[in-house]
Amino acid sequence: MSRSPLVSAKIIGYYIGRIITGLGLVQAIPLITSIIYKEWNITVYFLISMSIALIAGATLVLSCKSGKNKKISWKHGMVIASISWFLGMVLCAIPYYLSGSYLSFLDACFDVMSGFTTTGLVLIRDLDHISNGINMWRHVLTYLGGQGMIVLALTFLVRSTSGAYRMYVGEAKDEQLLPNVVNTARAIWSISVIYLIIGTITLWITGIFIGMPVDRAFLHGLWVFMAAWSTGGFSPQSQNILYYHSFPYEIGTLIFFIIGSFNFALHYAVWNRNRREIYRNIEIVSMSITAPVLTIITVVGLMKLNVFPNIMALFRKGFYLLISGHTTTGFMTVYANQVRNEWGSIAIFAVIVSMLIGGSACSTAGGFKGLRIGIIFKGFIRDIKRIIQPESLIQVEKFHHIGDITLEDKHIRSAMLIVLAYIATFAIGTAAGVLFGYPLESAAFESASATGNVGLSAGITSPFMPNTLKVVYIIIMWMARLEFMAVFALFAYIFYGVRRKWSQ
Q: Are 221 and 136 in contact (CB under 8 A)?
A: no
- Of 286, 238, 294, 478, give the one whose Cα is nearest residue 400: 286
Residue 180 sits in which domain range? 5-260
Same-domain pairing of 238 and 293? no
Same domain flag for 454 and 413: yes
- Same domain? For 297 and 217 the reply is no
Counting the structural domains of the chain, the total is 2
Residues 288, 231 share a domain = no
The DSSP secondary structure of 142-156, one letter per residue, reads HHHHHH-HHHHHHHH
Any domain includes 61: yes
Q: Tens digit of pLDDT per residue, the chain (504 long)?
A: 456 778 888 988 998 998 999 999 999 999 999 999 999 999 999 999 999 999 999 999 999 888 777 778 878 888 888 999 999 999 999 999 999 999 999 999 999 999 999 999 999 999 999 999 999 999 999 999 888 877 777 766 666 556 676 777 777 677 777 777 778 888 888 899 999 999 999 999 999 999 999 999 999 999 999 999 999 889 999 999 999 999 999 999 999 999 999 988 888 888 887 888 888 888 899 999 999 999 999 999 999 999 998 999 999 999 999 999 999 999 999 999 999 999 999 999 999 999 999 988 888 888 899 889 999 998 888 888 888 877 666 677 888 888 888 888 888 999 999 999 999 999 999 999 999 999 999 999 999 999 999 999 999 999 999 999 999 999 999 999 988 888 888 888 888 777 776 766
Residue type, 174: D
Is 213 contained in some domain?
Answer: yes
Which residues, at least 6 apart from 177, have a Cβ–Cβ distance to it below 8 Å? 183, 184, 187, 188, 264, 265, 268
pTM: 0.93
Residue 425 CB burial class (10 angstroms; 0-12, 13-18, ≥19): buried
354 and 254 within one domain: no
Looking at the structure, tell me whether residues 77 and 193 fall in a common domain.
yes
Do 255 and 305 belong to one domain?
A: no
Q: Are 263 and 361 in contact (CB under 8 A)?
A: yes
252/393 same-domain check = no
Which is it for strands 404-406 and 398-400: parallel, antiparallel or unpaired? Answer: antiparallel
In a domain, 502, yes or no: no
**Domain identity same for 309 and 452:** yes
| Residue pair 282/367 in contact by the 8 Å Cβ criterion | no
For residue 431, is it within any domain? yes
What is 192-218 written as a DSSP string? HHHHHHHHHHHHHHHHHHTT--HHHHH
In a domain, 310, yes or no: yes
Q: From the DSSP assignment, how many helices (H) and strands (E) are in the chain? A: 23, 2
E-assigned strand segments in 16-57 = none
